[in-house]
Amino acid sequence: MACLLPALAVMALAGCTAPAIPDLKPSVPTTWRNAPASAVPARPDLRDWWQAFDDPALNAVVGRALKGNLTLAGAAERVKAARLLDRHAHDDYLPSLRAATNDVINPDTTASYFIVGFDAMWELPLFGAWQSSARIAQGDLDANEADLQGARVTLIAEVVRRWIDLRSAQQQERILDEILAANREKLHLLEVRERLHLTSPDEVADAQADCAQAEAALADPRQAINASAQQLAALLGQPEPDPQWLQAGAQPRLGHWQLDAVPADLLRTQPQIARAEADVLSALGELGISRADIYPHIGIGTSLQWSVNIAHNHRSRTGEGIFSLGPVIDMPLFDWGQRVARAHAKDHQLKAAVYAYRQAVLQGVADTETALGDLHQSRQREMALGQAVQALDSATASARKRQQLGLASKLQVQDQRIREQQARQSLVAARAARDLAYVALYKALGGAPLPAADADHARTPDAHARSMPTKAAR
């Protein structure tokens, strides 16, 4: 046993020879250029951001999706598989034991032996192999956890988007029905005026075309309603949409609540960046293993063989055993150049992973800035169209009042009614655009709930490697 102590000491020091963690240092802004100024910056809620719509039905749909989505369930199973493998990352460097039996017959057939053997082998994880194997397993686990969180982010964003599309399309259908009814009333009035020779047939033909176009326009929201409801069902893991979804409901309203400011460190929560960090960690581990393969593989081997003479021409059976213990060295000779080339290739792959990480950070910044700009512009458009609707609503009320006083005709009222409904249609589209910009912002920030089991999961195989993402994101 004393001969094992030097080997154990070497193994304890070998972890220090693993490749150093690269210095990522991504370029991250301290403030957002497109974020509106605010006296008191708001801290965004990445866990329950969709509740800002104050829509209980939407909240219920999101909750059901998180429980029933099949893609999310598959990603969760892959995380469980990676966690199981992570717990056994060092098993290749534990002592192994093999038992075998054999029979041997002397050439002169004077004796026959039954042999039972036990072989044990313990390869020492030298030259950083121990830490590198842990990094590979941890990188795979981190990558699967990032994919799981990315699936959550995408799922919630898609559910909210489909819900916004569904409710907005239902409002569009209602408004287009109003426009169609107004056009039909206008056509009726013009036909009466034509019979009284108070208008030309051309005006009647134009009114008929307007009715046909208004009726044709109804196809778009109806198609959107059907598609959105069906996609919602697929996201929830069910074959058919709920009947209540197809009943017209109010359009989600974000109101005046919105994200006023975003600290730059929120980019750490973005799954794409977490995935890129995991790829760097895996590439770092693979580089360490490839470098360790350049040097001899050193281990300790032992063998115990026991034989029994079972020849029939012997009245008695005799057994003999032999034991051996010694070092085992596997030294690369003719393939040493290939191993060196493989190590250099892994070094280039690590650099590529670092570049990919930095690009993921830049893309995250770009996506967030774009979403912030879209959210601001869509809010301005919504406000302007809201003022237009209010003005046209007042104009329609005035036209009805003038009609009651005999100062305006029903035809003028219908024209004004059509203009008002068209403005409301544009307002519905503007609200949907603002809501979708809000969804895009939180998807860019990686907004999604993290189950307690994942949040509390300890990651201990490589403390230095686990500190890398935090340092890199600063």
**pLDDT per position as a tens digit, 289-338:** 899 888 888 888 888 888 777 765 544 455 567 888 888 888 888 888 88
14-90+128-295+337-472 is a CATH 3.20.20.140 domain: no
Cβ neighbours for 74, distance < 8 A, ≥ 6 positions apart: none
Mean pLDDT computed over every residue of the chain: 82
Q: Residue written as tokens 């000491």?
A: 9
In angstroms and rounded to an integer, the radius of gyration of the C-alpha atoms of the chain is 36
Q: CA 259 to CA 49: how far, in whole Å?
A: 10
Indicate the SS3 state at residue 435. helix
User: Is residue 286 a contact partner of residue 87, using CB atoms and an 8 Å limit?
Assistant: no
Q: pLDDT tier at 456 (50, 70, 90 boundaries)?
A: very low
Would you tell me how many other CB atoms lie within 10 Å of the CB of residue 404? 10
Q: Residue 469 above 50 pLDDT? A: no
3-state secondary structure 333-396: CCCHHHHHHHHHHHHHHHHHHHHHHHHHHHHHHHHHHHHHHHHHHHHHHHHHHHHHHHHHHHHH
Instruction: Report how far apart, in Å, the C-alpha atoms of 228 and of each of 50, 166, 168, 244 are.
Output: 18, 5, 10, 13
Tens digits of residue pLDDT in 102-128: 776 666 666 677 778 888 888 888 888
Instruction: Report how far apart, in Å, the C-alpha atoms of 300 and of each of 3, 5, 34, 134 are.
Output: 10, 12, 63, 22
Q: Strands across the sheet with 297-309, in order?
A: 96-105, 112-123, 297-309, 319-330
Q: Poorest-confidence range of 20-24, 67-71, 340-344, 405-409?
A: 20-24
Q: For residue 125, give the amino acid letter.
A: P
What's the pLDDT score for residue 406? 82
Q: Residue 345 above 70 pLDDT? A: yes
Q: CA 173 to CA 176: how far, in whole Å?
A: 5
> At 300, phi and psi to the nearest 5?
-125, 125
Percent of the chain having pLDDT more than 70? 82
Cβ neighbours for 196, distance < 8 A, ≥ 6 positions apart: none
Q: CA 240 to CA 471: how far, in whole Å?
A: 47
Mean pLDDT of 359-370: 88
Does the CA dihedral 86-87-93-96 come out positive or negative? negative
Indicate the DSSP class of residue 39. Answer: S
What's the pLDDT score for residue 470? 40
Mean pLDDT of 350-375: 89
Comparing 309 with 42, the larger pLDDT belongs to 309
Q: pLDDT tier at 390 (50, 70, 90 boundaries)?
A: very high
Mean pLDDT of 423-437: 93
Q: Poorest-confidence range of 21-30, 61-70, 356-365, 436-445?
A: 21-30
Cα torsion 467, 468, 471, 474 to 10°: value is: -120
Q: Residue 41 above 50 pLDDT? A: no
Mean pLDDT of 226-230: 95
What residues does each domain of the chain span? 14-90+128-295+337-472, 95-124+297-330
Can you give the length of the chain in residues?
Answer: 474
Cβ neighbours for 77, distance < 8 A, ≥ 6 positions apart: none
C-beta pairs of 195-204 under 8 Å, 24+ apart in sequence: none
